[in-house]
């Protein structure tokens, strides 16, 4: 069996709790990695996927220890190897690519020097040869002009370039096995697609085995030959990538795939109830029992074993997989969202520009903002009462900046924000009256940061109630319970602290706090991106339900086009703080579209092996918007000539009422896009 | 939805929280030693007037510089006063003055630091430069000036010490506030339109309280050393009130043949400072315990 490179045998890893109980993070894991194969390990946070990947290079995190089993690499067990011997394997035979390359690269050493260091450690090349090898490696990861990149410092590179450098460093030791821990998670959609494509190429080119750890089934689908699905420290499903994505036979994977929003489907996907149990909670029975739609009585007390199905070449940990096996075709149902917006305009942004530039002394004295090329410029959007409008774009596109100004947290340079057709809202908090503040509420991306860790849920929700309505005592209590019930949390959550809640529960509390103010508009800033996939759909469904009940208007900021597709009525695409396209979401997701929208749509990773991302434009990162002409000129693959560089493109309307800002006539745009 | 039992931790009363912290502190050897020393000194300060075997100011020329004996446990000093009596009484003034001094330092330093951290901008710049300027003045010189102008009464010493040791707390409180104000829950409170006071009281203080308390505890031991230095120089407590600094100063010349008169107050002073330091360390660890023992999942 020489083609097996890594063998994990009955591996259990755990820690001792304060009470001295042994709590398992990994439960009896066995798997094999073949030569040249790419294996994707997928699971939610806390499922043990990173612990497994680290164990594969003989590393156990501080505080954890191996309870049993082994990780065999070239028939020697890494877990009881001396650190001297491990040094010889790590980097040379097994290399690791971390999630955040920006933090993994030493900030004060040049890129070339850092790669050279890796080469010195892991190869026996002479200085001359190493120099050649460095530019070879940088070339291989497709970094432009390797000679100049080698002389740069990490902070001079973009996130995608840093990740490429990390890949180059990992390849320096010509490893047999490459471990990748969420290598594309922090990157923009377009960059992510490019890095994945690079990894695919490297896997084929060098024949290196890869273990790709991610929570993102979309990314996993693009790279892996085989998928391992982990849940609560166990392998629940393992098999060929295509079969798992097309015909998931474990209820968890089945539910997970159903709850992921897809570009091709408008509407909210079904959500999975509950969340993954904390380690050490489940003593007996199937760990997925609580959330399972297929569970029976026997699942409660008996733990299913991982069963190998020869005809499918798949292992599954479930008593009832046959039920799913019989479902010949995997179908995803979505609940079409109701568009209950009326024609009444609730918020109007006209000619809004926002600048981050440091102001000169004179301007500071006169309390004015001057900047010829502001970060956000010429934003004109009409928002109707009751609709969900999404602002979409990569990082740096100004979407969160616009939200901040609407909330009054950031002063605008020019332009007006008008509420309810006739009331002007200042972008300065101090000039807004309490009612102006009440009508607009915010929900943030990361509930860990948006909830005060030293307040109980009760105190958190009470704040807006006390501030805006002056509620006290019994009435306050009643309102809090009422709000908790609206976000499907029980009364007993009142005395809990945020740290005692799961990610999804925290975000529900944040939603309850926003609704406590009885706002007309809620600004949602990437509200689902910090949540686990299986929880995301539930939160989206909740938001939609609340919107229908209260007639609230949402301004929804996200980088995830599939999520936006699921929840929004209208979409505005932004690039470098300028609008590119605005229209009903059905039309924005259909061609013809702005070249930038086309790039974004092409780069979306779907959990489907048949849908490959289309890489249209380069993933360059532009620091500043161009001073003249179209904002997208730097990356556009369809530039028509000088006009794009000199003149700001006009708005063009499509038949369905979709506005596109491009010099190319709509008919022409459509030709190449279908 | 089923509720995980790990989350079934109910809200605790303030008393429960404090006792939990103390138990955690005492569970480490260094914390236990520190706490025991501190508690011992505090109890001693309370009961010493009642257990002192002799009158602390009774001068007896016939008993000058007696070596320790069954009658005079720690011997006698150059005026024939009982060193044991004076030692167990000698910590009272120092402990009281520095305790209240630290409270004042904690209060003004903490609040000013939080305020500067929150408002930022020009006000922050100006206040912090003033604090820097004060930090650059050798405190002992400034203290001597104040003491020689206003006298050495308790009413002067407490605020003067409180002021000089609060400067350092301003910096710590400001830094801790900076960590917190970047968080979204502050942005959220601002966007809702809460007043600065409400933001400080409800959102910031609960999150920086621990850091400031630990810093205050460290300052206490520094202040104790500072106060004893003043006494040593003759600007603290006036004789014949027993005080460690004063006792060390009086007896240091006789060290070569009457070591007991100087050793006893030194042991008293240094053990108290070590006790406070160890306690402050254990306190910091006990408060940070959530992070270090959390399951590394």
- pLDDT tens digits for range A31-77: 988 888 999 999 888 888 888 988 888 888 888 888 888 888 888 88
CB contact under 8 A, B295 and A23: yes
In a domain, B3, yes or no: no
pLDDT at residue number A461: 93
> Which residue in B has a C-alpha nearest to residue A17's C-alpha?
B295
Tell me how close the Cα of B119 comes to any Cα of chain A, in angstroms.
14
Query: Which band of pLDDT confidence, cut at 50, 70 and 90, is reported for residue B291?
Result: very low
pLDDT at residue number B292: 37
- CA A92 vs CA A128, A140, A169, A515: distances in Å: 20, 18, 11, 55
CB contact under 8 A, A281 and B11: no
Domain range enclosing A281:
232-336
pLDDT at residue number B288: 67
Token pair of A270, please? 């079904």
CB contact under 8 A, B4 and A281: yes
> Which residue in A has a C-alpha nearest to residue B206's C-alpha?
A454
416-435 in chain A: CB under 8 A from chain B: 429, 432, 434
Residues of B in contact with A488 (CB under 8 A): 1
Alpha-carbon distance of A214 to A607, in angstroms, equals 12
Residues of A in contact with B6 (CB under 8 A): 278, 280-281
Cα distance from N-terminal residue to C-terminal residue, chain B? 23
Tell me how close the Cα of A11 comes to any Cα of chain B, in angstroms.
16
pLDDT at residue number A556: 92
Q: Is the same domain home to A543 and A412?
A: yes
Q: Which residues contact B147 (CB under 8 A, 6 or more apart)?
A: B156, B157, B160, B230, B235
pLDDT at residue number B8: 46
Tell me how close the Cα of A46 comes to any Cα of chain B, in angstroms.
6
Residues of B in contact with A46 (CB under 8 A): 297
For A111, counting Cβ atoms within 10 Å of its Cβ (0-12 exposed, 13-18 middle, 19+ buried), the class is: buried
Tell me how close the Cα of B103 comes to any Cα of chain A, in angstroms.
23
51-90 in chain A: CB under 8 A from chain B: 51, 61-64
Point out the domain boundary residue: A568, A594, A626: A568
Residues of A in contact with B7 (CB under 8 A): 278, 496, 500-501
> Which residue in B has a C-alpha nearest to residue A453's C-alpha?
B207
Q: Is the same domain home to A329 and A416?
A: no
Tell me how close the Cα of B211 comes to any Cα of chain A, in angstroms.
14
If we measure between CA atoms, which residue out of B64, B56, B67, B141 comes closest to residue B91?
B56
Residues of A in contact with B190 (CB under 8 A): 409, 429
CB contact under 8 A, A25 and B183: no
In a domain, A105, yes or no: no
In a domain, A446, yes or no: yes
CATH number for the domain spanning B241: value is 1.10.3720.10
CB-based contact, B296 to chain A, within 8 Å: yes
Query: Which band of pLDDT confidence, cut at 50, 70 and 90, is reported for residue A481?
Result: very high
CB-based contact, A621 to chain B, within 8 Å: no
CB-based contact, B10 to chain A, within 8 Å: yes
CB contact under 8 A, A467 and B187: no
CB-based contact, B193 to chain A, within 8 Å: yes
- Residues A196-208 have a mean pLDDT of 88
Domain range enclosing B90:
28-55+69-289
Point out the domain boundary residue: A514, A536, A568: A568
- Residues A338-342 have a mean pLDDT of 69
| Interface predicted TM-score (ipTM) over 0.90 | no
Substitution target from A281, A443, A454 for chain B, most B beta carbons within 10 A: A454
Query: Which band of pLDDT confidence, cut at 50, 70 and 90, is reported for residue A621?
Result: low
In a domain, A511, yes or no: yes
Phi, psi at residue A272, to the nearest 5°?
-95, 135
Comparing CB atoms, the residue among A281, A441, A455 nearest residue B6 is: A281
pLDDT at residue number B103: 93
pLDDT digits (tens, 9 = 90+) for B43-59: 988 888 888 777 777 77
Query: Which band of pLDDT confidence, cut at 50, 70 and 90, is reported for residue A282?
Result: low
Alpha-carbon distance of A303 to A27, in angstroms, equals 12
In a domain, B271, yes or no: yes
CB contact under 8 A, A451 and B187: no
Q: Is the pLDDT of residue A277 over 70?
A: yes
CB A52 within 8 A of CB A180: no
Domain count of the fold of chain A: 3
Alpha helices in B120-153 (DSSP H): 121-136, 139-150
Q: Is the same domain home to A616 and A546?
A: no
- Residues A337-354 have a mean pLDDT of 80
Domain count of the fold of chain B: 1
- Residues A525-536 have a mean pLDDT of 85
Alpha-carbon distance of A24 to A303, in angstroms, equals 15
pLDDT digits (tens, 9 = 90+) for A286-315: 888 888 888 888 888 888 888 888 888 888
In a domain, A331, yes or no: yes
Which DSSP category does A156 fall into?
A: G
Q: Is the same domain home to A316 and A361?
A: no
Token pair of A417, please? 């924000």
Substitution target from A287, A463, A532, A539 for chain B, most B beta carbons within 10 A: A463
In a domain, B4, yes or no: no
In a domain, B209, yes or no: yes
pLDDT digits (tens, 9 = 90+) for B204-250: 998 888 888 888 888 888 888 888 888 888 887 777 778 888 888 88
Q: Is the same domain home to A370 and A492?
A: yes
CB-based contact, B155 to chain A, within 8 Å: no
Substitution target from A21, A59, A279, A452 for chain B, most B beta carbons within 10 A: A452
In a domain, A170, yes or no: no
> Which residue in B has a C-alpha nearest to residue A501's C-alpha?
B7
CB A406 within 8 A of CB A440: yes
Tell me how close the Cα of B195 comes to any Cα of chain A, in angstroms.
10
In a domain, B105, yes or no: yes
CB contact under 8 A, A62 and B296: yes
269-328 in chain A: CB under 8 A from chain B: 273-274, 277-281, 290
Q: Is the same domain home to A364 and A491?
A: yes
CB contact under 8 A, A450 and B183: yes
Alpha-carbon distance of B261 to B75, in angstroms, equals 7
SS (H, E, C) A626-661: CCCCCCCCCCCCCCCCHHHHHCCCCEEECCCCCEEE
In a domain, B158, yes or no: yes
pLDDT at residue number B89: 84
List the beta strands (DSSP E) in A74-122.
76-77, 94-97
CB B167 within 8 A of CB B90: no
Q: Is the same domain home to A437 and A516?
A: yes
CB-based contact, B207 to chain A, within 8 Å: yes
Q: Is the pLDDT of residue B7 over 50?
A: no
Higher pLDDT, residue A591 or A378:
A378
pLDDT at residue number B12: 63
465-524 in chain A: CB under 8 A from chain B: 467-468, 488, 490, 492, 495-497, 499-501, 513, 517
- Residues A540-544 have a mean pLDDT of 91
Tell me how close the Cα of B128 comes to any Cα of chain A, in angstroms.
22
Average pLDDT, chain A: 85
Supply angle C-alpha B227, B233, B239, rounded to 5: 85
- Residues A575-599 have a mean pLDDT of 87
Range from A11-20, A365-374, B106-115 carrying the lowest mean pLDDT: A365-374
Alpha-carbon distance of A419 to A421, in angstroms, equals 6
In a domain, B17, yes or no: no
Residues of A in contact with B9 (CB under 8 A): 496-497, 500
pLDDT at residue number A554: 93
In a domain, A189, yes or no: no
Q: Which residues contact A242 (CB under 8 A, 6 or more apart)?
A: A609
In a domain, B2, yes or no: no
Q: Is the same domain home to A533 and A633?
A: no
pLDDT at residue number A588: 85
Tell me how close the Cα of A343 comes to any Cα of chain B, in angstroms.
28
In a domain, A30, yes or no: no
Token pair of A469, please? 């309505």
pLDDT at residue number A20: 74
Tell me how close the Cα of A629 comes to any Cα of chain B, in angstroms.
35
In a domain, A305, yes or no: yes
Point out the domain boundary residue: A518, A547, A568: A568
- Residues A453-465 have a mean pLDDT of 91
Comparing CB atoms, the residue among B1, B11, B296 nearest residue A274 is: B1
């Amino acid at each position: 069996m020489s083609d097996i490179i890594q063998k994990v045998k009955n591996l259990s890893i755990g820690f001792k709790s304060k009470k001295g109980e042994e709590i398992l993070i990994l439960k009896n894991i066995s798997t094999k990695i073949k030569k040249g194969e790419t294996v994707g390990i997928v699971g939610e946070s806390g499922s043990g996927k990173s612990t497994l990947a680290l164990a594969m290079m003989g590393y156990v995190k501080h505080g954890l220890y191996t309870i049993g089993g082994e990780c065999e690499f070239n028939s020697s067990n890494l877990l009881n190897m001396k650190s001297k011997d491990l040094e010889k394997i790590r980097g040379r035979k097994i290399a690791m690519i971390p999630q955040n390359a920006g933090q993994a690269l030493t900030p004060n050493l040049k890129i070339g020097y850092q790669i050279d260091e890796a080469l010195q450690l892991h190869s026996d090349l002479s200085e001359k040869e190493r120099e050649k090898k460095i530019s070879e490696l940088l070339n291989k990861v497709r970094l432009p002009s390797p000679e100049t990149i080698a002389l740069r410092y990490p902070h001079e590179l973009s996130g995608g370039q840093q990740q490429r450098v990390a890949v180059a460093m990992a390849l320096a030791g010509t490893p047999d096995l490459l471990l990748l821990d969420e290598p594309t998670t922090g990157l923009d959609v377009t960059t992510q697609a490019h890095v994945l494509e690079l990894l695919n190429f490297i896997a084929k080119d060098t024949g290196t085995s890869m273990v790709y750890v991610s929570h993102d089934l979309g990314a996993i689908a693009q790279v892996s030959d085989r998928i391992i699905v982990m849940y609560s420290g166990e392998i629940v499903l393992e098999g060929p990538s295509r079969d798992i994505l097309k015909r998931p036979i474990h209820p968890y994977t089945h539910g997970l795939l159903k709850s992921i929003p897809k570009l091709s489907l408008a509407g909210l996907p079904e959500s999975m109830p509950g969340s993954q149990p904390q380690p050490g909670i489940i003593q007996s029975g199937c760990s997925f029992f609580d959330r399972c739609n297929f569970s029976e009585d026997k699942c409660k007390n008996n733990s299913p074993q991982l069963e190998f199905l020869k005809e499918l070449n798949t292992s599954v940990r479930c008593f009832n997989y046959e039920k799913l096996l019989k479902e010949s075709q995997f179908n995803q149902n979505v609940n079409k969202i109701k568009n209950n917006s009326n024609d009444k305009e609730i918020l109007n942004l006209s000619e809004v520009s926002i600048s981050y530039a440091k102001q000169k002394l004179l301007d500071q004295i006169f309390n004015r903002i001057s900047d010829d090329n502001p970060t956000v410029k010429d934003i004109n959007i009409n928002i109707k009462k009751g609709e969900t409008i999404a602002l979409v774009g990569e990082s740096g596109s100004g979407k969160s900046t616009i939200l901040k100004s609407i909330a009054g947290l950031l002063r605008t340079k020019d332009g007006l924000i008008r509420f309810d057709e006739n009331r002007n809202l200042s972008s300065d908090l101090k000039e807004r009256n309490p009612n102006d503040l009440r009508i607009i509420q915010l929900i943030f991306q990361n509930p860990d940061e948006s909830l005060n860790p030293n307040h109980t849920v009760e105190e958190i929700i009470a704040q807006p109630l006390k501030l805006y309505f002056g509620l006290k005592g019994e009435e306050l209590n009643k309102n809090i319970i009422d709000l908790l019930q609206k976000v499907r949390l029980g009364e007993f959550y009142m005395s809990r602290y945020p740290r005692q809640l799961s990610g999804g529960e925290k975000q529900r509390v944040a939603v309850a706090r926003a609704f406590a103010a009885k706002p007309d508009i809620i600004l949602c800033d990437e509200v689902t991106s910090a949540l686990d996939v299986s929880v995301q759909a539930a939160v989206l469904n909740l938001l939609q339900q609340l919107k229908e009940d209260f007639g609230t208007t949402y301004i929804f900021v996200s980088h995830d086009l599939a999520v936006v597709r699921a929840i929004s009525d209208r979409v505005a695409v932004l690039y470098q703080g300028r609008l590119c396209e605005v229209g009903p979401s059905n039309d924005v997701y259909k061609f013809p579209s702005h070249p930038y929208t086309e790039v974004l749509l092409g780069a979306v990773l779907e959990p489907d092996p048949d849908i490959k991302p289309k890489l249209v434009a380069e993933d360059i990162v532009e620091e500043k918007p161009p001073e003249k002409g179209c904002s997208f000129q730097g990356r556009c693959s369809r530039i028509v000539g000088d006009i794009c560089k000199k003149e700001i493109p006009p708005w063009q309307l499509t038949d369905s009422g979709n506005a596109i800002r491009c010099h190319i006539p709509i008919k022409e745009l459509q030709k190449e896009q279908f | 939805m089923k509720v995980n039992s790990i989350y079934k931790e109910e809200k605790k009363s303030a008393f429960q929280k404090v006792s939990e912290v103390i138990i955690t502190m005492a569970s480490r050897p260094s914390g236990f030693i520190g706490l025991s020393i501190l508690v011992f000194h505090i109890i001693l300060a309370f009961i010493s007037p009642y257990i002192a075997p002799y009158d602390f100011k009774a001068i007896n020329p016939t008993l000058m510089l007696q070596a320790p004996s069954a009658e005079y446990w720690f011997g006698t000093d150059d005026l024939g006063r009982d060193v044991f009596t004076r030692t167990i009484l000698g910590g009272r003034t120092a402990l009281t003055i520095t305790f209240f001094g630290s409270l004042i330092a904690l209060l003004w330093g903490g609040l000013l630091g939080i305020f500067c951290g929150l408002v930022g901008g020009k006000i922050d710049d100006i206040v912090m430069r003033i604090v820097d300027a004060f930090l650059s003045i050798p405190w002992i010189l400034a203290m001597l000036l104040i003491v020689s102008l206003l006298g050495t009464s308790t009413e002067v010493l407490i605020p003067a010490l409180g002021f000089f040791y609060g400067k350092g707390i301003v910096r710590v409180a400001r830094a801790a506030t900076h960590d917190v104000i970047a968080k979204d829950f502050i942005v959220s409170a601002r966007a809702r339109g809460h007043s600065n006071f409400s933001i400080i009281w409800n959102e910031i203080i609960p999150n920086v309280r621990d850091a400031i308390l630990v810093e205050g505890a460290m300052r206490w031991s520094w202040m104790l050393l500072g106060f004893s230095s003043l006494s040593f120089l003759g600007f603290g407590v006036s004789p014949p009130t027993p005080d460690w600094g004063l006792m060390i100063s009086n007896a240091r010349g006789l060290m070569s043949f009457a070591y007991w008169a100087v050793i006893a107050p030194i042991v008293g002073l240094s053990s108290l400072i070590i006790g406070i330091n160890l306690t402050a360390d254990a306190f910091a660890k006990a408060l940070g315990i959530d992070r270090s023992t959390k399951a590394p999942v």
